[in-house]
Amino acid sequence: MADCTAADALLDQMPETHILHGDKGYDSNAVRRKIESKGAAPNIPPKVNRRWKNCFSPVLNRDRNAIERMFCRLKDFRRIATR
């Protein structure tokens, strides 16, 4: 399933926050509107094929990337990831 189609169910469970970090897979107008309706600002890198590039902060994206790299590192060690 594509990320942007699963985002609707995930955003319904979203706690209150000011900024929501996301991956390029979540870069769609519908997802951005839903995030803004919840009162948060989306920080999602724009896809390459977008005509109008949305506001994006690479400095804030470093936090999301660090967490993603941590989970990838845990998956490298199957023994830890499966317990």
- pLDDT of the residue at 3: 64
What are the tens digits of pLDDT across the range 26-75?
Answer: 888 888 899 999 999 988 888 888 887 778 888 888 878 788 888 888 88
Segment 1-22 mean pLDDT: 81
- Examine the pLDDT at 1 and tell me if it is beyond 60: no
SS3 string, the chain, reads: CCHHHHHHHHHHCCCCCCEEECCHHHCCHHHHHHHHHCCCEEECCCCCCCCCCCCCCHHHHHHHHHHHHHHHHHHHCHHHHCC
The residues spanned by each domain of the chain are 3-81
Q: pLDDT value at position 37?
A: 92
* pTM, two decimal places: 0.71
